[in-house]
Amino acid sequence: MNDLLATAVAAHGGAARWNSIRAITVDATIGGAFWQIKGQDMGDVRFEVDTTRQRLTMDFLGRDRRSLFEPNRVVLQHADGTIADVRDDPERSFAGHEFQTPWDDLHLAYFTGEALWTYLNAPFLFTWPGFVCEEIAPVKADGETWRRLNVKFPDHIKSHTREQVFCFGPDGLLRRHDFTIDIVDPATESHLYAADYRDIDGIVIPAARRAYTTAGDDQLVLVSIDMADIAVSR
Protein backbone atom coordinates (compact mmCIF):
# COMPACT_ATOMS: atom_id res chain seq x y z
CA MET A 1 0.00 0.00 0.00
CA ASN A 2 1.53 3.34 -1.00
CA ASP A 3 1.80 6.26 1.41
CA LEU A 4 -1.18 8.25 0.12
CA LEU A 5 -3.53 5.26 0.11
CA ALA A 6 -2.40 4.34 3.64
CA THR A 7 -3.05 7.93 4.76
CA ALA A 8 -6.51 7.98 3.19
CA VAL A 9 -7.50 4.59 4.63
CA ALA A 10 -6.42 5.68 8.11
CA ALA A 11 -8.26 9.02 7.85
CA HIS A 12 -11.50 7.30 6.85
CA GLY A 13 -11.45 4.93 9.81
CA GLY A 14 -8.69 2.41 9.20
CA ALA A 15 -8.57 -1.01 7.59
CA ALA A 16 -9.27 -2.96 10.80
CA ARG A 17 -12.51 -1.12 11.48
CA TRP A 18 -13.58 -1.32 7.84
CA ASN A 19 -12.93 -5.05 7.66
CA SER A 20 -15.23 -5.59 10.63
CA ILE A 21 -18.31 -4.36 8.74
CA ARG A 22 -20.29 -6.06 6.00
CA ALA A 23 -22.73 -3.43 4.75
CA ILE A 24 -23.62 0.27 4.78
CA THR A 25 -27.27 1.34 4.67
CA VAL A 26 -28.09 4.88 3.56
CA ASP A 27 -31.25 6.98 3.36
CA ALA A 28 -30.57 9.69 0.79
CA THR A 29 -32.08 12.23 -1.54
CA ILE A 30 -30.54 12.12 -5.02
CA GLY A 31 -31.18 14.90 -7.51
CA GLY A 32 -29.68 17.04 -10.25
CA ALA A 33 -30.16 17.73 -13.94
CA PHE A 34 -28.49 14.49 -15.06
CA TRP A 35 -31.47 12.33 -14.15
CA GLN A 36 -33.87 14.57 -16.06
CA ILE A 37 -31.66 14.29 -19.15
CA LYS A 38 -31.91 10.52 -18.83
CA GLY A 39 -35.68 10.61 -18.37
CA GLN A 40 -35.46 9.36 -14.81
CA ASP A 41 -36.51 10.60 -11.39
CA MET A 42 -34.46 9.62 -8.34
CA GLY A 43 -35.69 11.48 -5.25
CA ASP A 44 -35.71 9.72 -1.89
CA VAL A 45 -34.04 6.32 -1.82
CA ARG A 46 -32.66 3.79 0.64
CA PHE A 47 -29.71 1.72 -0.53
CA GLU A 48 -27.56 -0.97 1.00
CA VAL A 49 -23.94 -1.32 -0.09
CA ASP A 50 -22.16 -4.63 0.38
CA THR A 51 -18.58 -3.97 1.51
CA THR A 52 -17.32 -7.49 0.79
CA ARG A 53 -18.45 -7.96 -2.83
CA GLN A 54 -19.92 -5.86 -5.63
CA ARG A 55 -23.61 -5.79 -4.78
CA LEU A 56 -26.09 -2.97 -4.08
CA THR A 57 -29.83 -2.91 -3.47
CA MET A 58 -31.94 0.23 -3.72
CA ASP A 59 -35.49 0.98 -2.61
CA PHE A 60 -37.23 3.96 -4.20
CA LEU A 61 -39.12 5.26 -1.17
CA GLY A 62 -42.85 5.75 -1.65
CA ARG A 63 -42.79 3.76 -4.88
CA ASP A 64 -43.36 0.08 -5.55
CA ARG A 65 -39.85 -0.37 -6.82
CA ARG A 66 -36.57 -1.94 -5.78
CA SER A 67 -33.43 -2.57 -7.82
CA LEU A 68 -30.61 -5.06 -7.30
CA PHE A 69 -27.22 -4.46 -8.91
CA GLU A 70 -24.50 -7.04 -9.42
CA PRO A 71 -21.75 -6.71 -12.06
CA ASN A 72 -23.32 -9.08 -14.57
CA ARG A 73 -26.99 -8.77 -13.69
CA VAL A 74 -29.54 -6.18 -12.64
CA VAL A 75 -33.00 -6.96 -11.33
CA LEU A 76 -36.10 -4.84 -10.79
CA GLN A 77 -38.45 -5.96 -8.05
CA HIS A 78 -41.71 -4.85 -6.53
CA ALA A 79 -41.65 -3.86 -2.87
CA ASP A 80 -42.85 -7.35 -1.90
CA GLY A 81 -39.81 -8.89 -3.58
CA THR A 82 -41.49 -10.27 -6.71
CA ILE A 83 -39.39 -9.81 -9.85
CA ALA A 84 -40.56 -7.27 -12.41
CA ASP A 85 -37.66 -7.40 -14.90
CA VAL A 86 -34.12 -8.75 -15.29
CA ARG A 87 -31.17 -7.88 -17.53
CA ASP A 88 -28.08 -10.06 -17.82
CA ASP A 89 -24.76 -8.55 -18.97
CA PRO A 90 -26.31 -5.09 -18.46
CA GLU A 91 -23.24 -3.10 -19.54
CA ARG A 92 -23.82 -4.21 -23.15
CA SER A 93 -27.22 -2.48 -23.18
CA PHE A 94 -25.46 0.93 -23.24
CA ALA A 95 -23.82 0.27 -26.63
CA GLY A 96 -24.37 3.23 -28.98
CA HIS A 97 -25.60 5.52 -26.21
CA GLU A 98 -24.78 9.22 -26.15
CA PHE A 99 -25.11 11.74 -23.33
CA GLN A 100 -28.68 12.61 -24.29
CA THR A 101 -29.84 8.99 -24.75
CA PRO A 102 -32.71 8.26 -22.33
CA TRP A 103 -32.50 5.31 -19.96
CA ASP A 104 -34.97 2.66 -18.94
CA ASP A 105 -35.21 1.52 -15.31
CA LEU A 106 -32.67 -1.28 -15.80
CA HIS A 107 -30.12 1.18 -17.20
CA LEU A 108 -30.68 3.29 -14.10
CA ALA A 109 -30.26 0.27 -11.82
CA TYR A 110 -26.91 -0.57 -13.37
CA PHE A 111 -25.50 2.96 -13.31
CA THR A 112 -26.61 3.82 -9.77
CA GLY A 113 -25.37 0.44 -8.57
CA GLU A 114 -21.84 0.69 -9.91
CA ALA A 115 -21.58 4.38 -9.00
CA LEU A 116 -22.82 4.30 -5.41
CA TRP A 117 -21.00 1.06 -4.68
CA THR A 118 -17.73 2.69 -5.75
CA TYR A 119 -18.39 5.90 -3.81
CA LEU A 120 -19.23 4.20 -0.50
CA ASN A 121 -16.40 1.64 -0.65
CA ALA A 122 -13.64 4.12 -1.51
CA PRO A 123 -10.83 4.35 -0.45
CA PHE A 124 -10.84 0.95 1.30
CA LEU A 125 -11.73 -0.78 -1.96
CA PHE A 126 -8.34 0.13 -3.41
CA THR A 127 -6.56 -2.24 -1.02
CA TRP A 128 -8.18 -5.24 -2.76
CA PRO A 129 -6.10 -7.45 -5.07
CA GLY A 130 -6.02 -6.19 -8.65
CA PHE A 131 -6.13 -2.47 -7.92
CA VAL A 132 -3.08 -0.45 -8.98
CA CYS A 133 -2.59 2.87 -7.18
CA GLU A 134 -0.04 5.62 -7.86
CA GLU A 135 0.28 9.06 -6.33
CA ILE A 136 0.40 11.75 -9.02
CA ALA A 137 1.08 15.50 -8.90
CA PRO A 138 -1.01 17.40 -6.34
CA VAL A 139 -3.40 20.23 -7.17
CA LYS A 140 -4.30 23.40 -5.30
CA ALA A 141 -8.02 23.94 -4.71
CA ASP A 142 -10.19 25.71 -2.13
CA GLY A 143 -7.09 27.10 -0.42
CA GLU A 144 -5.64 23.63 0.14
CA THR A 145 -3.18 21.30 -1.51
CA TRP A 146 -4.87 18.08 -2.51
CA ARG A 147 -2.81 14.93 -2.94
CA ARG A 148 -4.07 12.81 -5.84
CA LEU A 149 -4.27 9.05 -6.15
CA ASN A 150 -4.52 7.57 -9.64
CA VAL A 151 -6.41 4.27 -9.34
CA LYS A 152 -6.61 1.58 -12.02
CA PHE A 153 -9.55 -0.75 -11.45
CA PRO A 154 -9.32 -4.46 -12.26
CA ASP A 155 -11.49 -5.70 -15.12
CA HIS A 156 -13.90 -7.64 -12.89
CA ILE A 157 -14.96 -4.53 -10.94
CA LYS A 158 -17.62 -2.49 -12.73
CA SER A 159 -17.22 1.25 -12.25
CA HIS A 160 -17.36 4.48 -14.25
CA THR A 161 -14.13 3.75 -16.09
CA ARG A 162 -10.96 1.75 -15.55
CA GLU A 163 -8.75 4.67 -14.44
CA GLN A 164 -9.97 7.26 -11.93
CA VAL A 165 -8.37 9.94 -9.74
CA PHE A 166 -9.18 10.57 -6.07
CA CYS A 167 -8.14 13.86 -4.44
CA PHE A 168 -7.48 14.00 -0.69
CA GLY A 169 -7.12 17.03 1.57
CA PRO A 170 -4.37 17.64 4.16
CA ASP A 171 -6.45 15.63 6.67
CA GLY A 172 -6.45 12.61 4.35
CA LEU A 173 -10.19 12.85 3.65
CA LEU A 174 -11.65 12.70 0.16
CA ARG A 175 -12.29 16.10 -1.40
CA ARG A 176 -12.98 15.26 -5.05
CA HIS A 177 -13.34 12.26 -7.34
CA ASP A 178 -12.37 12.76 -11.01
CA PHE A 179 -13.47 10.37 -13.74
CA THR A 180 -15.06 9.84 -17.12
CA ILE A 181 -18.07 7.56 -17.57
CA ASP A 182 -17.71 4.99 -20.34
CA ILE A 183 -21.44 4.23 -20.62
CA VAL A 184 -22.46 7.93 -20.69
CA ASP A 185 -19.76 10.01 -22.42
CA PRO A 186 -16.15 8.79 -22.24
CA ALA A 187 -14.86 12.10 -23.63
CA THR A 188 -16.16 14.29 -20.78
CA GLU A 189 -14.46 14.40 -17.37
CA SER A 190 -16.64 14.62 -14.28
CA HIS A 191 -15.64 16.05 -10.90
CA LEU A 192 -17.63 14.82 -7.91
CA TYR A 193 -17.00 16.90 -4.78
CA ALA A 194 -17.31 15.35 -1.31
CA ALA A 195 -18.30 17.19 1.89
CA ASP A 196 -20.17 16.84 5.20
CA TYR A 197 -17.89 14.18 6.67
CA ARG A 198 -19.54 12.04 9.35
CA ASP A 199 -18.10 9.49 11.73
CA ILE A 200 -20.41 6.49 11.50
CA ASP A 201 -19.35 3.98 14.15
CA GLY A 202 -15.70 4.65 13.40
CA ILE A 203 -15.98 4.95 9.61
CA VAL A 204 -15.74 8.49 8.16
CA ILE A 205 -18.11 8.97 5.23
CA PRO A 206 -18.74 12.16 3.20
CA ALA A 207 -22.53 12.49 3.36
CA ALA A 208 -22.86 15.09 0.60
CA ARG A 209 -21.58 14.93 -2.97
CA ARG A 210 -22.00 17.29 -5.90
CA ALA A 211 -21.10 17.26 -9.58
CA TYR A 212 -21.56 20.48 -11.56
CA THR A 213 -21.93 21.53 -15.17
CA THR A 214 -22.07 24.90 -16.88
CA ALA A 215 -24.87 26.30 -19.00
CA GLY A 216 -23.84 29.65 -20.43
CA ASP A 217 -22.79 31.79 -17.47
CA ASP A 218 -24.59 29.59 -14.95
CA GLN A 219 -23.29 26.66 -12.95
CA LEU A 220 -25.83 23.87 -12.58
CA VAL A 221 -25.89 20.89 -10.26
CA LEU A 222 -25.59 17.85 -12.47
CA VAL A 223 -25.77 15.30 -9.64
CA SER A 224 -26.48 15.79 -5.94
CA ILE A 225 -26.36 13.11 -3.26
CA ASP A 226 -27.45 14.07 0.26
CA MET A 227 -27.33 11.30 2.85
CA ALA A 228 -29.67 11.79 5.80
CA ASP A 229 -29.18 8.56 7.74
CA ILE A 230 -26.17 6.26 7.47
CA ALA A 231 -25.65 3.00 9.36
CA VAL A 232 -23.02 0.28 9.20
CA SER A 233 -23.63 -3.38 10.04
CA ARG A 234 -21.27 -6.21 10.85
Average pLDDT over residues 146-159: 97
Average pLDDT over residues 136-143: 95
Question: In the chain, what are the domains?
Answer: 3-233 (2.50.20)
Q: Could you please report the per-residue DSSP string of 23-53?
A: EEEEEEEEESHHHHHTT---EEEEEEEESSS
Helix then strand then coil, in percent of the chain rounded to 5, is: 20, 50, 30
Whether 214 has a pLDDT exceeding 80, the answer reads no
**pLDDT tens, position by position, 163-212:** 999 999 999 999 999 999 999 999 889 999 999 999 999 999 999 999 99
**pLDDT tens, position by position, 46-95:** 999 999 999 999 999 989 899 999 999 999 999 888 999 999 999 999 99
Tell me the three-class secondary structure of 93-127, residue by residue.
Answer: HHCCCCCCCCCCHHHHHHHHHHHHHHHHHCCHHHH
Please enumerate in sequence order all residues whose Cβ is within 8 A of that of 78, keeping only pairs 6 or more positions apart, or say none. Answer: 64, 65, 66, 84
Peptide bond into 123 cis (omega under 30): yes
The predicted model scores a pTM of 0.95
Average pLDDT over residues 102-129: 98
Report the Cα 209 to chain-centroid distance in Å: 10
Q: What is the DSSP letter of 187?
A: E
Side chain identity, residue 155: D
Q: Is 49 exposed, middle or buried (0-12, 13-18, 19+ CB in 10 A)?
A: buried
Q: How far is 199 from 207, CA to CA, in rounded Å?
A: 10
